[in-house]
Structure 1
Amino acid sequence: MAATRRTLVPVAVTEFLGSARFNSALSLVAVGVGFSTHAIRALIGWPGLIGALGVVVVLAALSFVAQRKLIEWHGLLPISILLFVGWCAVSIFWSTYQWATLAGVIYQLSFAFLAVYIALVRDAIQIVRVVGDVLRVLLTASLALEVLSGILLDLPIRFLGIQGNIALGGPIQGLFGSRNALSIVALIAFVTFLVELRTRSVRAPLAAVSISLAVLCLLFAHSPVIAAVAVVVGLATLALFGLRKVPAHQRPYYQWGLAVFTIAALVSAYIYRTRVIDLLNARADFQVRYKLWIQIWELIPVEQTVGWGWVGSWPTELYPFTAIQAATGVYHSDGLNAYLDVYLQVGIIGLLLFVALVALAFGRSWLLASNKRSVVYAWAPLVLVALLVTSVFESSILVEAGWLLLVICGVKASQGMSWRLRLARHDQS
């Protein structure tokens, strides 16, 4: 009888950790932590955030073990993700701030691990639902707190970074610390809610309210940066759904034509960047960024090949970040440009690996969305468009929720178009 009890407990625990309900709940918690890092730090500090993240990672690892026989492990991760993360980890050996690099790598790996877990235990429509459910709650809470601060109390909520400007029409920050952070989350939410509506994964009234919620947050945030990103995402959405209606045998020609047009548009935007900035009324915002970018560009040649060492978000007390802060007179938690940020931290090699990562993730996602019948495949490339264009003005794609979404999209795209999986199937046949 005692032996029977000893065997029954592990079996019950294993079944629970590997159950669909546990997978769903843990995925919600993981995405929620990823998008709530600013609020968690504001409430319980870095120790609280690290503790919460650690618990979620341990539970995901146990769930992985419980489902180890059900998961397809061959070609599990895209090589591009492995190479970039590996290079960031190796930078510990030449970093001038090794303990900070070690902490940054562990933090990066934690969110990457959770992203892999979500990508493997949830299918595409379930991932859209998870992200949609989390962002519905966070955006609703953000607006509620803005109303409480700006209308009911008429006082800022300083520890959350909420200034209480909603009665003046904005800008608002919500639970995300800044108007730009709120705006990118609201834009990702808008894409997610739209896909939910098109796939009928939620009821139409809920989808309509959710879309209205995302639009309200975008309008009240008043972010000139995200205004430009929203235009690009809108154009990408039209192009993608246009491609899906083109006959399959003609689609490659349209894809190449779209690629050429996109390159020409990017070159034109760069040539006429001053007019674009004036059109968006973003000159003051751009000047802050430009001053920061100049300082970063001056430090890059010192360690151009391998970089200063990976940290993710910038520490306040370490060189060269203290020198940048002294030169600009403003504290920045990142480089406000993901590509320059990567170049500074892990050099030209790291930058090339990062570009390869995002190019493969986006290219595979775009091709899947163009060729698959289900609308749910459109979610990943449109989210990646939002993240990649925002990366010119923010570094959010490198840490926390942005990094989590990038890895999720990269893994799901690799599952759909991995040469290693096709090779394995060919060997088995």
Structure 2
Amino acid sequence: MRYPTDAAARSLSVLVVFTLFAGDFWRDLISWWGYLALVGALTVLLAVVMTRRKLWSRLPLRRMPRTLVLFGVLAVVSLAWSFYPGATVLGLVAQAATTLAALFICVSLSWPQLLAALSTAFAWILGLSLVFELVIAVFVRQPVLPFFTDYGDTVVPKAFYWSQGLLFQGGPIQGIVGNRNILAFVAVLALIVFGVQLAQKLRRPRPTIAWIAIAVIVLALTRSATAIGALVVTALMLGVLLLARRAGHGRRVWVLAGVVVVSAGAIVAVSTFWQQVLGLFGKSEDLTGRVDIWNAVAGLAAQRPAFGWGWVSYWAPWVEPFNDLAVRRGVVYLQAHDAWLDVWFQLGFVGLALFVFLVVATWYRAWWFAVDRPLDSLGLPISRVPLTLAPALLLTAMIAQSFVESRMLVEGGWLLLVVFAVKTKLDQSLVAIDLGNDPEAVNPRPSRAALALEAHRPAVAPRLARKASARR
């Protein structure tokens, strides 16, 4: 697949990623109505661009991930038995808009361009967050509430504040997104993207190292245990992927066995020192109320175990049962803080099975994309490059976070999941041209076999591509 991407498409992609990962920034700045107007305008613009540029033709239904299609169909069909049909309609509209944005990115950006869009959006979020917190700490010197929101004379819970103004106290800071866990996870994703770009030499070293330092500072100031845990898991997976690259096909089973042993050891260690780990990050034994939320959601899910209560995406706090399902210190929560539990609650075991297959299949393709050799324009294997590690590492971080947050199902999390599900399906082979700004730099000295086969390229490349696809 070729990507004749222009500056307008790249800028639009950056705006989309920024908006979906920093949705709370827009909602706190211009209100919910302003945010809905912005998202509506972006959605219409994306649909017009996809249609006028005939980008839909690059997404043949027969090549789309079946589990993704079936999951979407089930979410739509759940309107028939939804306990809250109005909220389900809103949730489906939001899911469709996010999916449209993901499909636009898939067909508009190559892998290097995708990383560039992610890194630019994440840099804006991290940079503006530090500037925002600095302004609050220096000039305002008190907690700040979202704009265009009137709380009257009631006591406002801390969770409602846009910023607590704790930068000079060492945090935790919330940044422009108004939530330290969201900001911390953006920092984790930024570390992965910046690190891959630095290794691939897609960006100048000094600015990239500076942004890596900024991401580390932001992560430290958020003091988010969930994000740091996701980063540790991702770092371990990086080691596994590098070992698998060196091990070859026959020995990768031993690498996987090592992963099982290390994972078991990590679980035992965390279980043994659970209280010390929670105390280190200032967490209570119930994970800041998550255990109570999980119990409440599981109880409701058990009442409709097969097909769930109906899709809703973000919970709708104005309808039953969400208005009093998870309330802590005056805050009505909008998620189950566990993506897998949330899917079971909303779409039952059927939806959970489809979601598991979707994530596992996407991860499986990302694994082979990372450890297998990519192919050049002749269908011949070339040297591995750092860039192909990015999807597997980003997915690992998302999966690690999904056990304590449901954000894989909404906004930026759903965007990346759909992007990787579709893009790893469409771009399994012959992707050398996407691996850098200069394809010849990937394989500067073609082998004699490659030169000899140049004359037979039409016949050889498809056959070798099919063989590489069969290995996956």
TM range (shorter): 0.7 to 0.9
- How far off is 1:265 after superposition? 4.9
Q: Given the superposition, is the C-alpha separation of residues 285 and 220 from structure 1 closer, same or farther in structure 2, using an over 3 Å criterion?
A: farther
The aligned counterpart of 1:99 is 86
Counterpart-to-counterpart distance in 2, 1:348 and 1:270: 29
The secondary structure found in structure 2 opposite 1:192 is helix
CA contact (8 A) 1:295 1:327 kept: no
Question: Conserved in 2, the CA contact under 8 Å of 1:227 and 1:280?
Answer: no
* TM-score computed with the length of structure 2 as normaliser: 0.80
Matched letter for residue 98 of structure 1: P
Tell me the amino acid that sits aligned with residue 419 of structure 2.
I
The within-5 A match list for 1:125-274 is: 125-159=112-146, 161-246=162-247, 248-258=248-258, 260-261=260-261, 264-265=264-265, 268=268, 272=272, 274=274
Q: How does 1:404-415 map to 2 (within 5 A)?
A: 404-415=415-426
- 2:393 is aligned to 382
Structure 2 residue aligned with 1:324: 325
Q: Secondary structure at the match of 1:87?
A: helix
Q: Does 1:363 align with 2:350?
A: no
SS at match of 2:47: helix
Deviation sequence 1:96-138 (CA, Å, 0-9, x none): 1111101101101110111011011111110000000111111
Aligned to 1:60: 46
Residue in 1 aligned with 2:96? Answer: 109
Task: Give the aligned partner of residue 414 of structure 2.
Answer: 403
Separation in 2, partners of 1:407, 1:177: 25
- Listed one character per residue, the Cα deviations across residues 266-303 of structure 1 (whole Å, up to 9, x for unaligned) are 76478658455466553356151111111111111111
- Between 1:202-211 and 1:70-79, the stretch displaced more is 70-79
- Between 188-197 and 156-165, the greater mean CA deviation after superposition: 156-165
C-alpha displacement of 1:231: 1.1
Question: 2:286–2:292: 8 Å Cα contact kept in structure 1?
Answer: no
Counterpart of 1:162 in 2: which secondary structure? coil
Name the residue aligned to 1:6: none
Per the alignment, in what secondary structure is the counterpart of residue 134 of structure 2?
helix
- 1:17-56 to 2 correspondences below 5 Å: 20-56=6-42
Q: Structure 2 vs 1, CA of residues 267 and 228 (structure 1 numbering), >3 Å: closer, same or farther?
A: closer
Distance (whole Å) between structure 1 residues aligned to residue 285 and residue 133 of structure 2: 25
- Work out the CA distance in 2 between the residues paired with 1:231 and 1:326: 30
CA drift at 1:28? 1.4
Distance 1:271 1:138, change over 3 A: closer
Deviates more, 1:82-91 or 1:71-80: 71-80
In structure 2, the partner of 1:5 is: none
- Alignment deviations for residues 179-203 of structure 1 (CA, whole Å, 9 cap, x no partner): 1111111101111111111111110
The structure-2 alpha-carbon separation of the partners of 1:277 and 1:363, relative to structure 1 and needing over 3 Å to count, comes to: farther
Alignment partner, residue 338 of structure 2: 337
- Distance in 1 separating the partners of 2:271 and 2:21: 35
Letter in 2 for 1:37: G
Say whether the 8 Å CA contact 1:229–1:389 is kept in structure 2: yes
Does the 8 Å contact 2:122/2:190 carry over to 1?
yes
Q: What is the rounded CA distance, in whole Å, between the counterparts of 1:216 and 1:374 in structure 2?
A: 28
Question: Which amino acid counterpart does residue 123 of structure 1 have in structure 2?
Answer: S
Percent pairwise identity: 29
Could you tell me which residue of structure 2 aligns to residue 353 of structure 1? Answer: 354
Contact 2:5/2:108 (8 A) holds in 1: no
Contact 2:187-2:215 within 8 A present in 1 as well: yes
Spell out, residue by residue over 1:321-376, the C-alpha distance to the aligned partner (whole angstroms, 9 max, x if none): 12313588641111111111111111111111111111111111112111131211
Counterparts in 2 of 1:417 and 1:255: CA distance versus 1, 3 Å:
farther
TM-score (normalised: structure 1):
0.87
Aligned partner letter, 2:14: L
Q: Secondary structure at the match of 2:324?
A: helix
> How far did residue 244 of structure 1 move?
2.1
Quote the residue 1:15 is aligned against.
none
1: CA distance, partners of 2:348 / 2:124: 39
Counterpart AA for 2:194: F
| Contact persistence 2:5–2:109 (CA under 8 A) | no
Tell me how many residue pairs correspond in the alignment: 404
Is the 1:183–1:226 contact (alpha carbons within 8 Å) kept by the matching residues of 2?
Answer: yes
Q: Please state whether the residue corresponding to 2:323 is helix, strand or coil.
A: helix
Instruction: Report if aligned partners of 2:335, 2:406 keep a CA contact under 8 Å in 1.
Output: yes
How large is the RMSD of aligned CA atoms in angstroms? 2.5
- Alignment-derived partner of residue 77 in structure 1: 64
How far does residue 157 in structure 1 lie from its aligned partner after superposition? Answer: 2.2
